[in-house]
């Protein structure tokens, strides 16, 4: 329910300066920690400037034991025996905000330990005090979460019109939000209408007309089958209308207020409706015939909140002056006066077991009230400047929103679980969905957000002023046309990308073929180079043997020539000697013949002549023998010389042959060296060409992949665009059909 805010200053404790703890912190553990001996000196040193009888900010004074125990505007600040349940401790230990001391670091551990021990020990006044620790009322749920769920499928709208009776370009401040207790359904108040959304999909499910004005209170009944809307027009009209959730039809209405209804609720049995507003009177009506059952006139200011307990036994009401009461349902009999808030109570919410009531106030606190004794179980300084709304879910978690523009989620023990992104303006309304998975909240500007409670992420933005069917149709048709144009563009881009990829692939294939050819040529050139190197190596390997063979042949030829010359010289000398011997033999023969003739003719000295003839004949015979011997020797030497000459000629021939072979080998080496050089150049050129071709091929191949990827992305984009266009066309067709049905059957006549 929307409420105007009053300005309330933020309560704060004075700065607690860090420093060494008093000597008592060093004493034995069994020593009593008392207010007068240990705690008051800390408060005097750091707190009395702002929290004393002369100046009690937020109505909190810390200079006397009685004032500390009494607490301040936000209620009790010390719960004896329970430090974690004490507001003062949670602030100074930085467990809750605003952390104390403000704008400073955490106070010294020794001082904190003294304060904690003092509270845990019963918050004693002095050494003569006895601890009086009250049994703490717990926040344990007494019924399991989900208890009370109706059998069968929970009620959901079906076939409701989505044509708003009133459309405004800008929404007004959010006045009411409600969530079905069992179904993924939320109701949001707007100008002369109530808008229904599916909380899982954020889909607009239908619009309920509320021609009486604006709904300031929305409530689903306990089964979720009925939606109660309280509102109207200020200073003019106030009613409560009850709608069938499935059909959207108005089941009944109660009340005929002279001013707007600000708060309303229906009991668990669906037999009573309670309402309240600026007239300061809570009226309870029978749903059977709309008759007034009772009136409650205790409130002295505008009634801001009205809610039956889930079990239907009690009714809680709250007002702008901070008044908060619990009544026996259907009567004006007071059950509890829950006194504690120091500013307007802006919202209330019952926990599912009906044992705990949460109240929100512009004093910035959320209080948990125990229905066993009517005492506050816990007080949370929840939102700076004021709390606007609270809402319990089945499992005991609580959502809140306030003047600080922040939505917060609290666990079953009243500990903050999460704070969501702040709105741009004051937060006004909040509701948790049936499963607690999402929280919906709205602010002064009319912005409505739906968040995941698990991670705090924004799910969707909802509107209290949805467009008309004509606007939806026009937007759908424009979107369909835009989507079709986008689909056509995407298809063209996809075709172009596919062609570019194909062209590039063709170029890459051609380049790859060229690279393969160049690689083959490089391989052939390399093989030729290796063959040339092998031939060169072979020729070079044979050259030493050829050099040696030539050297050997030359030496042999030289020796043979020398031997032939020597043999020829010896033969010539033998011939000469034989000739001389022959001449000598001839002369000796002639001499012997002459001697013989002389002997034969001698008459005297015949004997001497005969002797001389005999000697001459013997000499001739000897000369003939020597001549024959010399000739034989000469013949032998001539034969030897001829043989040597043949050997010399053969050696000369072998030498020439070796020289020729060596020359041929040298030429072959030169030719092979040239071939190697040429093959090396050819191989290098072929390798360079192959490398260049491979680089080009790799580059083309690399260029293909991005184009293929782009083509695939364009194809997918085209498919998505085509689907989007098809969906947009279907949406446009559906919008046209929905408008046609409305125009023909549902549009008011006249």
Q: What is the tens place of the pLDDT at every residue in 480-501?
A: 999 999 999 999 999 998 999 8
Over range 704-717, report the average pLDDT. 90
> How far apart are alpha carbons 109 and 104 in whole angstroms?
14
**pLDDT value at residue 745:** 77
Sign of CA dihedral 536, 542, 547, 553: negative
**pLDDT value at residue 750:** 45
**pLDDT value at residue 279:** 96
In 204-262, at which residue ranges do the beta strands (DSSP E only) sit? Answer: 204-220, 226-233, 237-244, 250-257
pLDDT over 70 (residue 602):
yes
**At 328, which helix (H) or strand (E)?**
strand 324-328
Q: 58, 47 in Cβ contact below 8 A?
A: no
Q: Where are the domains of the chain?
A: 23-120, 344-466, 472-565+647-743
Over range 271-296, report the average pLDDT. 96
Which residues lie closer than 8 Å to 410 by C-beta, 6 or more apart? 366, 380, 382, 397, 398, 399, 400, 416, 417
**At 495, which helix (H) or strand (E)?**
helix 469-601
Q: 736, 505 in Cβ contact below 8 A?
A: no
CA dihedral 208, 209, 213, 216 (to 10 degrees): -10
> How far apart are alpha carbons 521 and 526 in whole angstroms?
8
Q: 383, 402 in Cβ contact below 8 A?
A: yes
Backbone torsions φ then ψ of 593, nearest 5 degrees: -65, -40
Q: Do domains 344-466 and 472-565+647-743 have the same CATH topology?
A: no
Which residues lie closer than 8 Å to 39 by C-beta, 6 or more apart? 33, 114, 115, 118
CA atoms within 13 A on the CB side of 510: 5
- The per-residue DSSP string of 615-651 comes to HHHHHHHHHHHHHHHHHHHHHHHHHHHHHHHHHHHHH
**pLDDT value at residue 366:** 96
Verify cis geometry, omega within 30 degrees of 0, for the bond prior to 185.
Answer: no
- R_g of the chain computed on alpha carbons: 64
Residue with the larger pLDDT of the pair 175 and 655? 175
Sign of CA dihedral 372, 374, 379, 384: positive
Backbone torsions φ then ψ of 122, nearest 5 degrees: 105, 10
- The string of pLDDT tens digits covering residues 386-418 is 999 999 999 999 999 999 999 999 999 999 999
- The string of pLDDT tens digits covering residues 537-552 is 988 898 899 898 889 9
pLDDT over 70 (residue 749):
no
- pLDDT class for 138, splitting at 50, 70, 90? low
**pLDDT value at residue 560:** 87
- pLDDT class for 141, splitting at 50, 70, 90? low
**pLDDT value at residue 368:** 96
- The string of pLDDT tens digits covering residues 237-274 is 999 999 999 999 999 999 999 999 999 999 999 999 99
> How far apart are alpha carbons 43 and 349 in whole angstroms?
36
The average confidence (pLDDT) of the chain is 88
Using the 8-state DSSP alphabet, how is residue 392 labeled? E
Sign of CA dihedral 706, 711, 716, 717: positive
pLDDT over 50 (residue 27):
no
Bridge-based pairing of strands 334-337 and 398-402 is: unpaired
With CA atoms as reference, report the closest residue to 147 among 225, 199, 222: 222
**pLDDT value at residue 744:** 87
- What is the separation of C-alpha 355 from the centre of its chain, rounded to a whole number of angstroms? 45
**At 324, which helix (H) or strand (E)?**
strand 324-328
- pLDDT class for 74, splitting at 50, 70, 90? low
Residue matched to tokens 């704060």: 12
pLDDT over 50 (residue 75):
yes
- The string of pLDDT tens digits covering residues 535-592 is 889 888 988 998 988 899 889 889 989 988 998 898 899 889 889 988 988 888 888 8
3-state secondary structure at position 176: coil
- The string of pLDDT tens digits covering residues 214-231 is 999 999 999 999 999 999
Over range 689-709, report the average pLDDT. 88
Long-range CB pairs of 609-618, under 8 A, 24+ apart, other chains included: 616/588, 616/591, 616/592, 617/592
Residue matched to tokens 């076939």: 159
Q: Among residues of the chain, what percentage have pLDDT more than 90?
A: 55
**pLDDT value at residue 658:** 87
Q: 262, 304 in Cβ contact below 8 A?
A: yes
Residue with the larger pLDDT of the pair 80 and 139? 80
Using the 8-state DSSP alphabet, how is residue 408 labeled? E
Which CATH architecture describes the domain 472-565+647-743? Orthogonal Bundle (1.10)
- The string of pLDDT tens digits covering residues 183-209 is 999 999 999 999 999 999 999 999 999
> How far apart are alpha carbons 159 and 52 in whole angstroms?
64
**pLDDT value at residue 17:** 33
Over range 302-320, report the average pLDDT. 97
**pLDDT value at residue 22:** 42
CATH number of the structural domain 344-466? 2.130.10.10
Over range 305-334, report the average pLDDT. 96
Q: 40, 61 in Cβ contact below 8 A?
A: no
- pLDDT class for 233, splitting at 50, 70, 90? very high
**pLDDT value at residue 609:** 80
Tokens of 266: 């229906």
CA atoms within 13 A on the CB side of 243: 28
Residue with the larger pLDDT of the pair 111 and 268? 268
**pLDDT value at residue 8:** 34
């Amino acid at each position: 329910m929307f409420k105007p805010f009053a300005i309330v200053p933020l309560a704060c404790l004075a700065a607690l300066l860090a420093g060494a703890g008093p000597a008592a912190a060093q004493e034995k553990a069994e020593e009593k920690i008392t207010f007068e001996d240990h705690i008051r000196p800390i408060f005097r040193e750091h707190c009395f400037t702002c929290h004393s009888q002369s100046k009690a900010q937020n109505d909190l004074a810390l200079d006397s034991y009685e004032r500390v125990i009494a607490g301040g505007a936000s209620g009790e600040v010390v719960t004896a025996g329970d430090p974690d349940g004490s507001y003062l401790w949670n602030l100074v230990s930085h467990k809750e905000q605003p952390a104390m001391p403000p704008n400073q670091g955490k106070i010294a551990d020794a001082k904190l330990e003294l304060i904690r021990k003092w509270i845990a020990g019963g918050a004693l006044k002095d050494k003569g005090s006895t601890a009086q620790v009250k049994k703490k009322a717990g926040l344990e749920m007494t019924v399991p979460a989900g208890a009370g769920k109706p059998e069968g499928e929970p009620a959901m709208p079906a076939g409701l019109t989505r044509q708003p009776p009133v459309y405004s370009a800008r929404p007004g401040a959010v006045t009411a939000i409600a969530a079905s207790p069992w179904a993924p359904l939320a109701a949001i108040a707007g100008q002369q209408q109530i808008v229904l959304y599916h909380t899982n999909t954020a889909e607009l499910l239908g619009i309920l007309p509320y021609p009486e004005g604006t709904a300031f209170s929305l409530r689903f009944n306990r089964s979720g089958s009925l939606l109660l809307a309280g509102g109207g027009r200020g200073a003019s009209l106030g009613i409560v209308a009850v709608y069938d959730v499935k059909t959207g039809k108005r089941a009944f209405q109660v009340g005929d207020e002279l001013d707007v209804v600000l708060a309303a609720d229906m009991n668990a049995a669906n037999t009573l409706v309670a309402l309240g507003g600026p007239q300061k009177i809570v009226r309870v009506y029978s749903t059977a015939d709309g008759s007034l059952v009772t009136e409650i006139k205790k409130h002295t200011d505008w009634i801001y909140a009205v809610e039956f307990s889930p079990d239907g036994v009690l009714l809680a009401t709250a007002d702008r002056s901070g008044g908060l009461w619990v009544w026996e349902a259907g009567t004006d009999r007071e059950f509890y006066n829950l006194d504690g808030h120091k500013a307007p109570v802006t919202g209330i919410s019952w926990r599912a077991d009906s044992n705990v009531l949460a109240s929100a106030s512009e004093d910035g606190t959320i209080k948990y009230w125990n229905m066993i004794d009517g005492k506050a179980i816990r007080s949370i300084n929840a939102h700076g400047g004021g709390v606007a709304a609270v809402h319990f879910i089945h499992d005991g978690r609580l959502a809140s929103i306030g003047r600080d523009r922040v939505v917060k989620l609290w666990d079953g023990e009243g500990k903050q679980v999460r704070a969501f992104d702040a709105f741009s303006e004051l937060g006004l309304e909040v509701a948790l969905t049936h499963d607690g998975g999402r929280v919906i909240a709205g602010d002064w500007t009319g912005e409505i957000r739906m968040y995941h409670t698990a991670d705090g992420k924004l799910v969707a933005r909802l509107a209290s002023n949805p467009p008309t069917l004509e606007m939806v149709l026009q937007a759908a048709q424009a979107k369909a046309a835009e989507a079709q144009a986008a689909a056509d563009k995407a298809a063209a881009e996809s075709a172009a990308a596919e062609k570019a990829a194909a062209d590039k692939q063709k170029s890459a294939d051609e380049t790859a073929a060229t690279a393969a050819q160049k690689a083959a040529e490089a391989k052939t050139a390399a093989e030729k180079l290796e063959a040339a190197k092998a031939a060169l190596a072979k020729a070079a390997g044979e050259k030493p043997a050829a050099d040696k063979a030539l050297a050997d042949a030359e030496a042999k030829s030289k020796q043979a020539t020398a031997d032939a010359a020597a043999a020829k010289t010896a033969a010539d000398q033998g011939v000469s000697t034989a000739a001389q011997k022959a001449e000598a033999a001839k002369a000796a023969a002639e001499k012997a013949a002459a001697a013989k003739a002389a002997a034969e003719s001698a008459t005297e000295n015949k004997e001497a002549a005969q002797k001389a003839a005999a000697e001459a004949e013997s000499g001739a015979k000897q000369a003939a023998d020597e001549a024959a011997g010399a000739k034989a020797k000469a013949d032998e030497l001539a034969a030897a010389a001829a043989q040597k000459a043949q050997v010399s000629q053969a050696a000369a021939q072998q030498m020439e042959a070796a020289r020729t072979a060596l020359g041929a080998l040298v030429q072959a080496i030169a030719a092979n060296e040239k071939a190697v050089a040429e093959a090396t150049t050819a191989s290098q050129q072929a390798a360079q060409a192959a490398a260049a071709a491979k680089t080009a091929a790799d580059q083309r191949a690399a260029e293909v992949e991005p184009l293929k990827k782009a083509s695939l992305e364009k194809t997918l984009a085209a498919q998505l665009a085509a689907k989007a266009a098809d969906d947009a066309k279907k949406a446009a067709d559906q919008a046209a059909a929905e408008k046609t049905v409305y125009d023909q059957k549902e549009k008011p006549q006249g």
